[in-house]
Chain A
Amino acid sequence: MELFIQQLINGLTVGSVYSLVALGLTLVYGILHIPNFAHGALYMMGGYVTLTAMSQAGLPYGLAIVVSMVVVGLLGVLMERLVFYPLRDAPPLHDKIAAIGILLFLEAFAQFVWGADYQTMPTPYGNVVTVFGLTLTVQRILIIASTVVIMMLLYLFLKKTFIGASIIAMAQNREGANLVGINTNKVAMMTFLLSGGLAALAASLASPINLVFPGMGHLVILKAFVIIILGGMGSIPGAIVGGYILGFSESLGATYVSNDYKDIIAFAILVIILTVKPNGLFAKEGH
């Protein structure tokens, strides 16, 4: 029983990271209908920037994360302006290929600057506590808590601020939003800023556990795609719920089925879903 609860907590932790990444991805897809294949690279850069901020600039963990969120958020904006904006009228094939080009470049860049080795990220929250008879590292609690806080902040932002409302409007109808005077360019940039920030946060929270290395974005981004297809491309609650469902499935699957093949769980779920519902679980006909 203890093992079970331990794995539940593990699932919560993993799910939190997945949700954060999926959130960023779904925000971008929601308003621009672009599946940003380079999102994994943003995640990876988030990890490296935090690491560098801590090791080179000597910043404390929390501050380093904030720096990382800003830097990667800006990187996202750069991507939007330089790559996705020029391609807005091109066939969808081009968006994907362009994103892949960015992904390849950023990974090679990371390897060039920081090397290919797995690096550890020190954290002030590495100590272990005992809660209700369970042993947890504080880091895991931090991950779960931060995610909940961020999600609440995001919710407030989207519902209560003007820009937030603009994002939602644009997600529903880009043309219409433009027509009523919403500056769709600003909104696009804002969304990428958010998306990058969320990815950086997720990476920074997860890295003390999962280490930092150039390929760290691969698996995560693939699973994030599975999540948003599960939860509905563009749906925020879908990304959150989907992220946790996957987190739990993997955690329990790793323990009770097979650790080696736990990564397949995500893709197996995807295959099953798309086989039965080719347009995803929450398909809406027509845009």
Chain B
Amino acid sequence: MFLHVERLTKRFGGLLAVNDVTFSVEQGKINAIIGPNGAGKSTFFNLISGLHRPTSGTITFKGRDITRLPANERAKLGIARTFQTTHLFEQSTVMDNVIIGHRLRTESNLFDAILRTKRHRREEQACKEKAMEVLDFVGLTGVADRLVANLSQEQKKRVAFALALATDPELVLLDEPAAGVNPDETEGLEELIVKMVEGGLTVCLIEHKMSMIMKIADRIMVLNYGEKIAEGTPEEVQNNEAVIQAYLGGSTVA
């Protein structure tokens, strides 16, 4: 089992954000999580990446129980994630933003930094090379020296991808990667996600754009009011009564 959550529940005071969800992420595939607004999808990601502690339930990754593991430790194990609002440092260059992505694989500390030890120089170089590598992968080599603030929304999303990739992950959680991106550019992002999986990564993504999901997802889980209401291939989910009911009254973006 690659990533498995068992009876995962998260309660915020009186609000049950995620309710008793059991789900497995298939390795090497594109797994999608969909559901109407407020269904608990982002909370679910927060639970997996470690930004929230579950009220009950367990999370296992590559056979290891990570339920109590802090977020930064999970990143070291190979779980990367992006955010809906990218959280990038707008006033810095793309390169400056992405360089820090490889930091978790380095050991240099304060003293190394001040004394410019061999280790520091070596690791700094490694981070730079990794940054160039991932920027090349996402097709942004040309804008490496531009301020993030001056980029388009789609380019910012690619930078966020690059940042996640720089951590050398095995599982990448993408939180609404195509939000605010126009249809042409969405196709580009779809290709990028498929490229990531072809390179050996596992992707789990949250999205509202149904066309994107149906096109690239191998497996889908549907959440509504924090509960899992359906799971399966795109065809199975499309024809699922409960799913159709859940979306009636909401809007789906074609």
Contact = CB atoms under 8 A, between A and B. Distances in A.
* A–B contact at 8 Å CB threshold (below): yes
Interface string A251-287: 0000000000000000000000000000000001110
B76 interface: no
B252 to A, nearest CB: 22
B64 interface: no
B199 interface: no
A225 to B, nearest CB: 24
Interface string B1-35: 00000000000110000000000000000000000
Nearest to B55: A285
Contacts of B52: 285-286
A284 B12 CA distance: 7
Nearest to A284: B13
Contacts of A286: 12, 52
Contacts of A284: 12-13
Nearest to A287: B12
B93 to A, nearest CB: 20
Contacts of B13: 284-285
A284 B13 CA distance: 7
Identify whether the interface residues of A are mostly helix, strand, loop, or mixed: loop
Nearest to B17: A286
Interface string B47-59: 0000010000000
Interface string B188-216: 00000000000000000000000000000
A222 to B, nearest CB: 30
B96 to A, nearest CB: 19
A286 B17 CA distance: 11
Contacts of A285: 12-13, 52
Nearest to A285: B12
A285 B13 CA distance: 8
Interface string B109-136: 0000000000000000000000000000
A130 B12 CA distance: 52
Contacts of B12: 284-286
Interface string B32-75: 00000000000000000000100000000000000000000000
A236 B12 CA distance: 21
Interface string A118-149: 00000000000000000000000000000000
Nearest to B11: A285
A238 B58 CA distance: 35
A285 B12 CA distance: 6
Nearest to B12: A286
B47 to A, nearest CB: 12
A284 B11 CA distance: 11
A101 B52 CA distance: 36
A17 to B, nearest CB: 32
A284 to B, nearest CB: 6
A84 to B, nearest CB: 23
Nearest to B13: A284
A15 B52 CA distance: 37
A284 B52 CA distance: 12
A244 to B, nearest CB: 26
B14 to A, nearest CB: 10
A169 to B, nearest CB: 15
A286 B12 CA distance: 7
B15 to A, nearest CB: 8
A110 to B, nearest CB: 38
A284 B15 CA distance: 11
A286 B14 CA distance: 12
B164 to A, nearest CB: 24
A286 B52 CA distance: 9
Interface string A96-134: 000000000000000000000000000000000000000
A285 B14 CA distance: 11
A285 B15 CA distance: 11
Interface string A204-243: 0000000000000000000000000000000000000000
A124 B161 CA distance: 71
Nearest to B46: A286
A98 B47 CA distance: 36
Interface in A62-113: none
7 contacts: A284-B12, A284-B13, A285-B12, A285-B13, A285-B52, A286-B12, A286-B52
Interface of A: 284-286
| Minimum-distance CB pairs A-B, first 7 | A286-B12, A284-B13, A285-B12, A285-B52, A284-B12, A286-B52, A285-B13
